[in-house]
């Protein structure tokens, strides 16, 4: 499996998904050889700690500066900080170098199927298939169109995604929403794509500390945004809805947890709307800090322009806050007990936010029902679907039983 | 002798439009959605009139003309009749024609199809009186049998309704109340002297209303001879088979292409093939048969869902909050004497609003979802509470309200 770093060292849902899925696969007796980029300060020994009792997951690191969600410019900035000739000069060069290292690993190791997560690892998956002849499954957590909010998709990234999917034996999409995008934007036939919704494991969210609770002292209501502050996540719609909410009820505090290239712009926007005192940018949070923010919130809002899945609403519900999510998201396919809105309809968004902060009964009903619902959205269910799909693909590729390991 | 007693419920609520928080104080029209959505009351009424009311009334008239002993009964909510007058007078006329045959009984209910009996007995009595006057005005008849909203019923209701002078009352023949007893007899509500209770035979009623077009049903397809045969089996084992259902069964819940109208068209002649059988109206059944026993119904029952209780309208915190909020305004709303304001307040009492907020079965996509014009119960609640907030502002801003407050402030 070509994946990405696990929590709490991850920088988004991709690492959370890799972890949840790998652990659930291991629990179902699947051996996973997990290949990931090596980063200074974190090592496979940490990853092994997460699976203390398990011998079924082995880690293999490749030295690289790649990380999820990196852009071409971002990569060059990071790379320039490092005095080494090992890394590629551009993001694309580095992705190719990573793939060649993956090829070396694939030559030595034994496995039945290759499972690669998101485009940065697709070339690695392709190389591994070429040297091993094993079937390749690509897992689409996001497309280039999601990341760029539909504006200025990178052609090279698109090509890697498209060629990867054409070459692969099977594709897993995290939602029907994403499957549809893959069909329409990449011209991949529907029957080649399997939808496996992400899940969540409650045990990862036990004992959430009571931080930030002083924010509620004045009886004010708290509405939370948590995610990268990028065009994909729709932060500007959150700010505009906040303005409309505050027009009606000034006793609401809006928290923005996250960082990203639009952070400064969003601060300016809040200032120009005259609501800077009611919109607090609390920076990038992870682990317990993020859970504590969910816990004190009266409502979590995910106004994403295009969200292939979106694990954060599920985390929020477990931690104690009901959710308002954009209809343009995969998670809305599995969550019925959520308020839903079109990301651009900030009037509707504000109306629903005000509904929750004004009526305790709505909060209780919404959260209580969603809390029950989330119990059924597990990684175990996702891993079972994955395993069934592995079987199907292995079978279709005509792998003889004498060369199989599982 | 087994008599068939048909009663059809005919009701359409005034659905609240997508009334947003920003409309509060600016827009006091809560029920005038004009979009393509199913909260457009005019659109829905005309759709159902075309698919159900008009064609079903035509079949009923045909049957009444053909069979001189054929009888049916209706219960119309006042808000339904208001909408007919506003949006579809020709449908009202076709109902009036049926009643004019003298063989179509009209039952009493609360004008606003409300749960007022649970929250305000005074308001309940007012709404029953309003309904009585409306029926007299439109149909020239005075109802003598009462049915409460969604067949919500208990001993206390029967006692109240008896006091109001009705001869009979209608309720669900729920298993958890009847046990081994049969719904095919009349009963005497516990604690009453004269009023008689008719209970719905839900098995035979639901065979038509719910199972008629269900291909998974062992008895599919249901034909008129088959149904008449089942009805006839009650002979010697009961007096009256109460077939109570929504009138929308014909053409709206069961579409025309299921054959429901043909079933209806042939049912009377098949029933008459068994010489002991006939049709009665509720008041005829009451005149003809004596109660077999007392029936004690302490807790509320209804005809909704498998629970047959109040949970369709009153199970989650939103529903309780909303209904308590509307009844809390009673005294102040009535004190304004403002007809439009009082009417809007009453339209907000219609039980459907609370039904739309039900989350009990929300995930299973069953009847609640089918009957819910809102995307989610949460949206239904938000629109409702926003409208109610505006209504509250209208009350507070009303000249008579200011006067009242002033009077209170005097030493």
Question: Same domain, yes or no, for A332 and A389?
Answer: no
State the average pLDDT over residues B76-92. 98
Looking at every residue in chain B, the average pLDDT score rounds to: 94
Which residue is closest to B318 within chain A, CA to CA?
A361
Q: Which of A340, A354, A365, A366 best tests the B interface by mutation, with the highest count of B CBs <10 A?
A: A365
Q: Are B318 and B381 in contact (CB under 8 A)?
A: yes
Among A13-22, A227-236, B27-36, B364-373, whose mean pLDDT is lowest?
A: B364-373
- Structure token pair of residue A75: 């990569």
Residue A330 has pLDDT above 50, yes or no: yes
Residue A3 forms part of a structural domain: no
Domain with A253 in it: 203-374
**CB-hemisphere CA count at 13 Å for B10?**
30
A99-120 per-residue burial string, b: 16 or more CB within 10 A, e: under 16: bebbbebbeeeebbbbbbbbbb
Measured CA to CA, the distance from residue B40 to residue A380 in angstroms comes to: 44
Question: Same domain, yes or no, for A111 and A246?
Answer: no
Residue B304 forms part of a structural domain: no
Domain with B353 in it: 317-409
Query: What are residue A278's phi and psi, to 5 degrees?
Result: -110, 0
Question: Same domain, yes or no, for B282 and B332?
Answer: no
Question: Same domain, yes or no, for B266 and B331?
Answer: no
Measured CA to CA, the distance from residue A313 to residue A306 in angstroms comes to: 15
Chains A–B, number of C-beta pairs less than 8 Å apart: 71
Question: What distances in angstroms separate CA B157 from CA B201, B300, B350, one per listed residue?
Answer: 20, 9, 18
Residue B104 forms part of a structural domain: yes
Measured CA to CA, the distance from residue B374 to residue A377 in angstroms comes to: 25
Residue B277, helix vs strand vs coil = strand
Residue B303 forms part of a structural domain: no
Number of domains in chain B: 2
Which residue is closest to A369 within chain B, CA to CA?
B359
Residue B188, helix vs strand vs coil = strand
Question: Same domain, yes or no, for B250 and B382?
Answer: no
Q: Are B24 and B386 in contact (CB under 8 A)?
A: yes
Question: Same domain, yes or no, for A244 and A181?
Answer: no
Whether A351 and B20 lie within 8 Å, measured CB to CB: yes
Residue A310 forms part of a structural domain: yes
Question: Same domain, yes or no, for A238 and A384?
Answer: no
Question: Same domain, yes or no, for B288 and B322?
Answer: no
Residue A2 forms part of a structural domain: no
pLDDT at position A304, please? Answer: 96
Measured CA to CA, the distance from residue A176 to residue A146 in angstroms comes to: 14
Q: Is-catalytic flag, B150?
A: yes
- Between strands A114-117 and B277-280, the pairing is unpaired
Question: What distances in angstroms separate CA A180 from CA A194, A306, A308, one per listed residue?
Answer: 11, 12, 10
Question: Same domain, yes or no, for A231 and A140?
Answer: no
Measured CA to CA, the distance from residue A104 to residue A118 in angstroms comes to: 20
Residue B281 forms part of a structural domain: yes
Question: Same domain, yes or no, for A81 and A100?
Answer: yes
Question: Same domain, yes or no, for B186 and B280?
Answer: yes
Question: Same domain, yes or no, for A291 and A330?
Answer: yes
Residue A71 has pLDDT above 60, yes or no: yes
Does A52 or A305 have the greater pLDDT score? A305
Among B21, B316, B385, beta carbon nearest to A365: B316
Residue B237 has pLDDT above 60, yes or no: yes
Residue B301 forms part of a structural domain: no
The model carries a pTM of 0.91
Question: Same domain, yes or no, for B148 and B52?
Answer: yes
Report the CATH number that the domain containing residue A343 is assigned in CATH: 3.40.50.2000
Chain segment A117-163, per-residue pLDDT in tens: 999 899 999 999 999 999 999 999 999 998 887 778 899 999 999 99
Question: Same domain, yes or no, for A155 and A253?
Answer: no
Among B317, B320, B382, beta carbon nearest to A355: B382
Residue A286 forms part of a structural domain: yes
Number of domains in chain A: 2
Measured CA to CA, the distance from residue B30 to residue B32 in angstroms comes to: 6
Residue B119 forms part of a structural domain: yes
CB within 8 Å of B395: residues ≥ 6 apart: B329, B332, B333, B336, B341, B401
Q: Are B308 and B172 in contact (CB under 8 A)?
A: yes
Q: Which of A336, A338, A357, A376 best tests the B interface by mutation, with the highest count of B CBs <10 A?
A: A336
A357 and chain B: CB distance < 8 Å anywhere? no
Question: Same domain, yes or no, for B260 and B368?
Answer: no
Whether A355 and B318 lie within 8 Å, measured CB to CB: no
Of B295, B329, B353, the residue at which a domain comes to its end is B295
A375 and chain B: CB distance < 8 Å anywhere? no
Question: Same domain, yes or no, for A97 and A194?
Answer: yes
According to DSSP, the residues that pair with A307 across neighbouring strands are A329
Residue A95 forms part of a structural domain: yes
Residue A7 forms part of a structural domain: no
Chain segment A160-214, per-residue pLDDT in tens: 999 999 999 999 999 999 999 999 999 999 999 999 999 999 988 888 888 888 8
Whether B381 and A354 lie within 8 Å, measured CB to CB: no
Angle at B179 between CA B108 and CA B146, to 5 degrees: 5
Among A248, A339, A340, beta carbon nearest to B21: A248
Question: Same domain, yes or no, for B234 and B364?
Answer: no
Measured CA to CA, the distance from residue B376 to residue A11 in angstroms comes to: 33
B322 and chain A: CB distance < 8 Å anywhere? yes
From the list B105, B108, B109, B150, the catalytic residue is B150
Residue with the two structure tokens 């694990």: A311
pLDDT at position A201, please? Answer: 92
Question: Same domain, yes or no, for B184 and B57?
Answer: yes
Residue B400 has pLDDT above 80, yes or no: yes
Residue A93 banded pLDDT, cuts 50, 70, 90: confident
Question: Same domain, yes or no, for B270 and B346?
Answer: no
Residue B196, helix vs strand vs coil = strand
Which one-letter DSSP state was computed for residue B308?
A: T
Question: Same domain, yes or no, for A208 and A344?
Answer: yes
Question: Same domain, yes or no, for B102 and B165?
Answer: yes
Of B260, B295, B330, the residue at which a domain comes to its end is B295
Residues of chain A with pLDDT > 90, as a percent, come to 65
- Between strands B187-189 and A323-326, the pairing is unpaired
Measured CA to CA, the distance from residue B264 to residue A4 in angstroms comes to: 66
Report the CATH number that the domain containing residue B47 is assigned in CATH: 3.20.110.20
Q: Are A116 and A134 in contact (CB under 8 A)?
A: no
Measured CA to CA, the distance from residue A69 to residue A280 in angstroms comes to: 24
Does B402 or A318 have the greater pLDDT score? A318
Residue B87 forms part of a structural domain: yes
Question: Same domain, yes or no, for B219 and B324?
Answer: no
Q: Are A22 and A32 in contact (CB under 8 A)?
A: yes
Whether B385 and A359 lie within 8 Å, measured CB to CB: yes
State the average pLDDT over residues A50-66. 70
B26 and chain A: CB distance < 8 Å anywhere? no
Residue B364 has pLDDT above 60, yes or no: no
Measured CA to CA, the distance from residue A376 to residue A317 in angstroms comes to: 13
Chain segment B272-322, per-residue pLDDT in tens: 998 888 999 999 999 999 999 999 999 999 998 888 999 999 999 999 999
Measured CA to CA, the distance from residue B105 to residue B98 in angstroms comes to: 9
A358 and chain B: CB distance < 8 Å anywhere? yes
Q: Which of A342, A362, A371 best tests the B interface by mutation, with the highest count of B CBs <10 A?
A: A362
How close A335 gets to chain B, by Cα (Å)? 9
Measured CA to CA, the distance from residue A299 to residue A222 in angstroms comes to: 7
Measured CA to CA, the distance from residue A212 to residue A206 in angstroms comes to: 17
pLDDT at position B305, please? Answer: 84
Q: Are B11 and B245 in contact (CB under 8 A)?
A: no
Residue B310 forms part of a structural domain: no
Whether A355 and B381 lie within 8 Å, measured CB to CB: yes
Angle at A239 between CA A236 and CA A244, to 5 degrees: 130
How close B407 gets to chain A, by Cα (Å)? 31
Question: Same domain, yes or no, for A363 and A258?
Answer: yes
pLDDT at position B246, please? Answer: 97
Question: Same domain, yes or no, for A158 and A283?
Answer: no
ipTM of the shown complex:
0.89
Measured CA to CA, the distance from residue A17 to residue A8 in angstroms comes to: 12
Measured CA to CA, the distance from residue A267 to residue A256 in angstroms comes to: 10
Does B409 or B247 have the greater pLDDT score? B247
């Amino acid at each position: 499996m070509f994946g990405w770093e696990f929590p709490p060292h991850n920088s988004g849902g991709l690492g959370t998904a890799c972890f949840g899925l790998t652990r659930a696969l291991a629990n179902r007796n699947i051996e996973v050889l997990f290949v990931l980029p090596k980063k200074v300060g974190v090592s496979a020994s940490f990853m092994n700690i997460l699976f203390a009792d398990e011998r079924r997951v082995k880690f293999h690191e490749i030295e690289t500066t790649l990380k999820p969600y990196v852009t071409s410019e971002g990569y060059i900035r990071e790379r320039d900080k490092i005095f080494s000739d090992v890394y590629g000069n551009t993001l694309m060069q580095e992705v190719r170098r990573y793939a060649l290292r993956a090829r070396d690993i694939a030559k030595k190791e034994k496995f039945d199927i290759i499972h690669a997560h998101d485009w940065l690892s697709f070339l690695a998956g392709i190389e591994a298939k070429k040297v091993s002849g094993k079937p390749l499954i690509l897992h689409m957590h996001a497309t280039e169109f999601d990341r760029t909010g539909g504006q200025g998709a990178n052609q090279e990234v698109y090509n890697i995604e498209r060629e990867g999917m054409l070459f692969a034996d099977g594709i897993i999409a995290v939602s029907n929403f994403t499957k549809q995008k893959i069909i329409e934007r990449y011209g991949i036939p529907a029957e080649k794509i399997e939808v496996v919704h992400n899940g969540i494991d409650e045990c990862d969210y036990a004992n959430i500390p009571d931080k930030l609770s002083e924010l509620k002292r004045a009886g004010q209501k708290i509405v939370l945004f948590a995610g990268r502050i990028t065009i994909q996540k729709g932060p500007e719609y959150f700010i505009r809805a906040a303005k409309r909410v505050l027009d009606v009820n000034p006793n609401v505090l809006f928290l923005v947890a996250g960082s990203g290239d639009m952070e400064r712009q969003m601060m300016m926007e809040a200032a120009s709307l005259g609501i800077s005192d009611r919109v607090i940018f609390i920076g990038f949070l992870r682990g317990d800090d993020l859970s504590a923010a969910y816990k004190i919130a009266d409502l979590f809002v995910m106004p994403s322009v295009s969200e292939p899945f979106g694990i954060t609403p599920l985390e929020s519900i477990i931690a104690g806050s009901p959710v308002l999510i954009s209809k343009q998201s995969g998670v809305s396919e599995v969550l019925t007990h959520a308020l839903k809105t079109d990301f651009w309809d900030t009037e509707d968004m504000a109306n629903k936010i005000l509904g929750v902060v004004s009526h305790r009964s709505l909060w209780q009903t919404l959260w209580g029902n969603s809390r029950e619902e989330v119990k059924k959205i597990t990684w175990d269910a996702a891993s079972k679907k994955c395993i069934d799909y592995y079987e199907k693909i292995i079978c279709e590729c005509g792998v003889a039983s004498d060369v199989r390991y599982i | 002798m087994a008599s068939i007693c048909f009663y059809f419920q005919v009701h359409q609520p005034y659905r609240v439009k997508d009334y947003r928080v920003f409309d509060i104080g600016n827009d006091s029209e809560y029920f005038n959605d004009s979009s393509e959505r199913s909260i457009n009351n005019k659109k829905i009424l005309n759709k159902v009139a075309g698919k159900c009311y008009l064609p079903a009334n035509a079949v009923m008239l045909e049957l009444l003309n053909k069979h001189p002993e054929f009888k049916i009964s209706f219960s119309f909510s006042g808000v339904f009749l208001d909408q007919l007058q506003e949006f579809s007078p020709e449908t009202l006329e076709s109902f009036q024609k049926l009643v004019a045959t003298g063989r179509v009984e009209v039952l009493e209910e609360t004008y606003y199809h409300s749960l007022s009996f649970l929250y305000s007995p005074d308001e309940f009595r007012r709404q029953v009186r309003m309904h009585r006057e409306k029926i007299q005005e439109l149909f020239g008849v005075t109802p003598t049998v009462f049915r409460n909203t969604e067949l919500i019923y208990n001993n206390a209701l029967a006692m109240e309704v008896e006091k109001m002078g009705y001869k009979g009352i209608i309720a669900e023949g729920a298993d958890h109340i009847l046990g081994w007893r049969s719904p095919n007899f009349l009963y005497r509500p516990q604690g009453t002297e004269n009023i008689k209770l008719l209970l719905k035979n839900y098995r035979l009623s639901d065979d038509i209303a719910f199972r008629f077009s269900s291909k998974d049903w062992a008895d599919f397809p249901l034909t008129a001879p088959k149904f008449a045969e089942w009805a006839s089996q009650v002979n010697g084992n009961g007096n009256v088979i109460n077939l109570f259902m929504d009138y929308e069964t014909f053409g709206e819940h069961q579409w025309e292409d299921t054959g429901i109208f043909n079933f209806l068209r042939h049912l009377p002649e098949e029933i008459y093939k068994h010489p002991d059988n006939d049709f009665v109206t509720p008041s005829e059944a009451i005149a003809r048969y004596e109660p077999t026993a007392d029936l004690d119904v302490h807790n509320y029952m209804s005809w909704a869902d498998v629970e047959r209780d109040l949970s369709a309208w009153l199970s989650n915190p939103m529903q309780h909050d909303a209904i308590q909020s509307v009844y809390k305004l009673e005294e102040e709303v009535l004190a304004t004497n403002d007809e439009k304001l009082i009417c809007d307040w009453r339209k907000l009492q219609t039980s459907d609003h609370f039904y739309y907020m039900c989350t009990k079965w929300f995930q299973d996509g069953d009847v609640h979802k089918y009957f819910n014009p809102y995307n989610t119960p949460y949206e239904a609640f938000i629109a409702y509470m926003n409208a109610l907030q505006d209504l509250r502002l209208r009350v507070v801003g009303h000249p008579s309200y200011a006067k009242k407050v002033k009077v209170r402030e005097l030493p």
